[in-house]
């Protein structure tokens, strides 16, 4: 599989210099470089933004900013991306990467608990109990790559923040193949992902497909 991934990477559009810098710094300055989206998925995310002509994007889980840069680089002149990150120790690295990519004016970094920030965003948008929005413009794309144990809660919070026809993209939904094991592993991360995948399958408000891209990407379209 590694040979296949390397072949795919070599035959895709090469990543920008700013992304190469983020990738290198992620390996040097963090202990979790495996969490980086990487060139192939990053290019896919960029193309999704281009194809949908998205103007407003919400990302849950910035890490070191690689995927945010990929998506924001495809936004138009008036496009904007909000990205949420819990770990304030990564803030300097993230912001420097945004600056190197020339995207500081298109990306807003929000440090803090993801669910608390989403509840604040819902209030700012004027989301009512019936899901209607009275104050602001809904998001075209939401990209979920934060705490796997809380994917279901994130989904419930962001659903009304996405416009009809918009996308919710959830990363790591195959979780190293653990979701396919029988019996299912009982760790909280695997249980959270499995419960989320079942929730999406049964939600008649959306249509979805899981792509075996890296660790699995659930592409969910709101009807």
Q: What is the CATH number of the domain that holds 153?
A: 3.40.50.150
pLDDT exceeds cutoff 90 at 58:
yes
pLDDT exceeds cutoff 80 at 2:
no
Q: 134, 155, 136, 137: which is closest to 208 by C-alpha?
A: 155
How many folded domains does the chain comprise?
1
Percent of the chain with pLDDT over 90: 88
pLDDT digits (tens, 9 = 90+) for 61-82: 999 999 999 999 999 999 999 9
**CA dist 172 to 24, 88, 146, 169, 181, Å?**
22, 23, 10, 10, 15
pLDDT exceeds cutoff 80 at 23:
yes
Domain that residue 205 falls in: 2-222
pLDDT digits (tens, 9 = 90+) for 145-180: 999 999 999 999 999 999 999 999 999 999 999 999
Is the entire prediction scored with pTM above 0.85? Answer: yes
Q: Give the pLDDT mean for 51-56.
A: 97
């Amino acid at each position: 599989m590694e040979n296949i991934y390397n072949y795919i990477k070599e035959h895709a559009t090469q990543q920008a210099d700013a992304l190469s810098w983020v990738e290198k710094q992620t390996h040097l300055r963090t202990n979790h470089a495996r969490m980086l989206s990487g060139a192939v998925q990053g290019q896919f995310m960029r193309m999704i933004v281009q194809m949908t002509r998205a103007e407003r994007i919400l990302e849950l889980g910035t890490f070191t900013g690689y995927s945010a840069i990929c998506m924001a680089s495809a936004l138009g002149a008036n496009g904007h991306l909000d990205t949420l990150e819990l770990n304030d120790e990564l803030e300097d690295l993230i912001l420097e990467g945004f600056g190197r990519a020339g995207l500081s004016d298109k990306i807003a970094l929000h440090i803090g608990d993801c669910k608390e920030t989403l509840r604040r965003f819902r209030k700012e948008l004027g989301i009512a109990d019936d899901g209607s929005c009275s104050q602001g413009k809904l998001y075209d794309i939401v990209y979920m790559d934060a705490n796997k144990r809380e994917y279901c809660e994130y989904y419930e919070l962001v659903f009304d923040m996405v416009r009809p026809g918009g996308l919710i993209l959830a990363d790591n939904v195959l979780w190293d193949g653990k979701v396919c094991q029988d019996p299912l592993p009982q760790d909280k991360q695997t249980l959270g992902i499995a419960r989320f995948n079942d929730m999406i399958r049964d939600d008649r408000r959306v249509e979805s497909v899981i792509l075996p891209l890296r660790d699995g990407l659930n592409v969910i379209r709101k009807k």
